[in-house]
């Protein structure tokens, strides 16, 4: 990506000379302005796609780690999981009271 940025910057700097008084034609300025905008847009699009891909890969990695390290059960909803947890805690408390 660094080389892509460097090449794009070099091309755009060369374009800047066209927008000075060295080129007197307004039509040329107008046409080259569209090319300038197209190159900038292409650069931004490529970087947006690259960053989006990196975000998706990071989210997949996070999800994979989350799934591997937690007691996540996809078919049960949170209320049911909480009820089971409360029941388990109550059962453990009853067992402790019986031991005493």
Sequence spans of domains, the chain: 2-71
Query: What 8-state DSSP symbol labels residue 54?
Result: H
User: Mean pLDDT, the chain, as a whole number?
Assistant: 86
Q: How far apart are CA 1 and CA 24, in angstroms?
A: 35
Q: Is the pTM here over 0.75, yes or no? A: no
pLDDT at 65 over 90: no
Q: Which residue has the tokens 């996540």?
A: 72
Q: How far apart are CA 1 and CA 99, in angstroms?
A: 67
Model pLDDT, residue 61: 86
* First-to-last C-alpha distance (Å) of the chain: 68
Model pLDDT, residue 43: 95
Nearest to 19 by CA among 35, 4, 39: 35
């Amino acid at each position: 990506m660094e080389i892509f940025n460097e090449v794009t910057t070099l091309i755009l700097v060369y374009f800047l000379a066209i927008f000075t008084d060295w080129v007197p034609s307004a039509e040329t300025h107008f046409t080259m302005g569209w090319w300038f905008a197209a190159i900038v847009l292409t650069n931004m699009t490529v970087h947006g796609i690259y960053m989006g891909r990196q975000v998706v890969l990071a989210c997949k990695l996070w999800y994979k780690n989350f799934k591997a390290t937690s007691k996540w059960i996809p078919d049960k909803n949170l209320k049911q999981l909480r009820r089971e947890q409360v029941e388990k805690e109550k059962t453990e408390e009853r067992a402790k009271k019986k031991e005493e």
